[in-house]
Amino acid sequence: MTKISSEGEEEGEEGEEALRLLHQRILACRLCEQQGYIPAARPLVNGRASDRMMVIGQAPGHRSIAKGRSFSGPGGSILQKWLEQAGFPRGYLHEHTYLSSLTRCDPGRNPRGDGDRRPSPQEVALCRPFLEAELALLRPRVVLLVGAMAIEAYFGKVSRLILAR
Ligand code: SF4
């Protein structure tokens, strides 16, 4: 018996396939390594075409790369807690949210060695087409910009006071 898919199901399957191909391209990218910005590119992708909320952070850290899951560090725990305070269920961040970032590879430690290095404008520019492709494909209803760098990438320089509010 032939299963007749509804329009929504077909669109969903097409979306997942398009996203799978996009993820393949991201995972194969080595631009920042080839241009000497990072020693080794290990891009990270997380999310489904059906996700309606997208989180855009700065870049994955070493914990996320090691676990193969974005926002695996303390920032992810805080974000999940905020979502729960806003009424979303436990696990929502990793199970129902598309997790993206300005760059997809761990930029490594900052020169002082006391935190993550901010990706350079050149690295952000190299990775930006992937982010724009995800936004165009998912057309999320809600986009959460996490951290000063992600906010500034879309709204320009914002004062620390405004960011803290
Ligand atoms: S950060 Fe982005 S552009 Fe740079 S190597 Fe990783 S996936 Fe490619």
> How many other CB atoms are there within 10 angstroms of residue 7's CB atom?
7
Q: Report the percent of the chain where pLDDT is more than 90.
A: 79
The region of weakest confidence among 4-13, 26-35, 80-89 is 4-13
For residues 86, 97, 108, 43, the Cα torsion angle rounded to the nearest 10 degrees is 180
Span 72-97, average pLDDT: 95
The region of weakest confidence among 7-21, 28-42, 62-76, 81-95 is 7-21
Ligand 1 atom closest to residue 42's alpha carbon, by position in its atom list:
6
CA atoms within 13 A on the CB side of 155: 12
CA–CA dist 19, 46 (Å, integer): 11
Q: Report the percent of the chain where pLDDT is more than 70.
A: 89
Residue bearing tokens 């396939």: 17
Q: What is the pLDDT of residue 135?
A: 97
Q: Which tokens in the block code for residue 77?
A: 């725990």
Q: Closest Cα partner for 31 from 106, 126, 119?
A: 126
Instruction: Tell whether the model's pLDDT for residue 161 goes beyond 50.
Output: no
Q: How far is the CA of 135 from the centre of ligand 1 (A)?
A: 17
- Does the Cβ of 22 fall within 6 Å of ligand 1? no
Span 28-42, average pLDDT: 97
- pLDDT band of residue 61 (cuts 50, 70, 90) is very high
Q: How far is the CA of 42 from the centre of ligand 1 (A)?
A: 8
Span 135-159, average pLDDT: 90
The residue contributing the CA closest to ligand 1 atom 6 is 105
Instruction: Tell whether the model's pLDDT for residue 4 goes beyond 50.
Output: no
Instruction: Tell whether the model's pLDDT for residue 112 goes beyond 60.
Output: yes
Instruction: Provide the residue ranges of all domains of the chain, joining segments of one domain with +.
Output: 6-163
Instruction: Tell whether the model's pLDDT for residue 60 goes beyond 90.
Output: yes
Ligand 1 atom closest to residue 34's alpha carbon, by position in its atom list:
5
Q: Which tokens in the block code for residue 98?
A: 């598309």
Ligand 1 atom closest to residue 104's alpha carbon, by position in its atom list:
1
- pLDDT band of residue 1 (cuts 50, 70, 90) is very low
> How many other CB atoms are there within 10 angstroms of residue 52's CB atom?
12
CA–CA dist 37, 32 (Å, integer): 5
CATH of 6-163, one of 3.30.420.590, 3.40.470.10, 3.30.70.890, 3.40.50.720: 3.40.470.10
- Does the Cβ of 44 fall within 6 Å of ligand 1? no
